[in-house]
Chains A and B, each alone.
Chain A
């Protein structure tokens, strides 16, 4: 298994509070991604990073920000969580070029 961990694995929070999810990899892969998974939608890309301090928006980026100060860590922040952000969040990594993406175990976030 690819060395990808996510923390926390589960979190319950209240509307309006800030939340940060962490993705950590030990593979030294250049590309990192955040997806969210909702019933009936499959997985949708939130943000991605193609290097340290290089990030860009995905399909569903509104309400989310990211940061990558080190190769191994990619942080996803919800500045003010809303109930619509209740979801399962997956981090993924890949090497440049035509390379497979490998996924972390996921974080289940509930916003009350």
Chain B
């Protein structure tokens, strides 16, 4: 079984600053996918970014990028030029390759607050 750990229950930064959210995971799988989801106060789960474990290049989506360290089983999310609309819960999630039918394993989340 896989486990996903997010060690920061809450973080707060000023608008326009850069913030990094941490995620570590434990698995015996060699091929898998990692995700970051955002959940704003509306409660909608929004996919932010995906990383395939077989890719060495870190994924980037506009202001969002990841630092994927496979050997360390670490998958952090960096948000650059943070905006008020980035205030949300952020969840790290794991999925086995070929395990789409098995669903995602989520961390407990980090509540990110962007201060004006």
Q: Hey, which bits of chain A sit against chain B, CB under 8 A?
A: 31, 33, 35, 40-45, 48, 50, 56, 58, 88, 90, 92, 94-103, 105-106
B100 touches A98 (CB 8 A): yes
For A90, list chain B residues within 8 Å (CB): 45
Closest A-chain residue to B97, C-beta based? Answer: A98
B-side interface size class: 20 to 34
B103 touches A58 (CB 8 A): yes
Task: Say how far B27's CB is from chain A's closest CB, in angstroms.
Answer: 15
Also in contact, A42 and B103, with CB within 8 A (given A98-B33, A98-B52, A105-B43): no
Bound CA span A50–B52, Å? 22
For B106, list chain A residues within 8 Å (CB): 42-44
Q: DSSP class of B's interface residues: helix, strand, loop or mixed?
A: mixed
Bound CA span A89–B102, Å? 17
Q: Point out the residue from A41, A96, A101, A105 that lies within 8 Å of B104, measured CB to CB.
A: A101
B91 touches A106 (CB 8 A): no
Bound CA span A58–B41, Å? 27
Task: Say how far B31's CB is from chain A's closest CB, in angstroms.
Answer: 9
| B78 CB within 8 Å of chain A | no
For A40, list chain B residues within 8 Å (CB): 108
A31 touches B101 (CB 8 A): yes
Closest B-chain residue to A47, C-beta based? Answer: B103
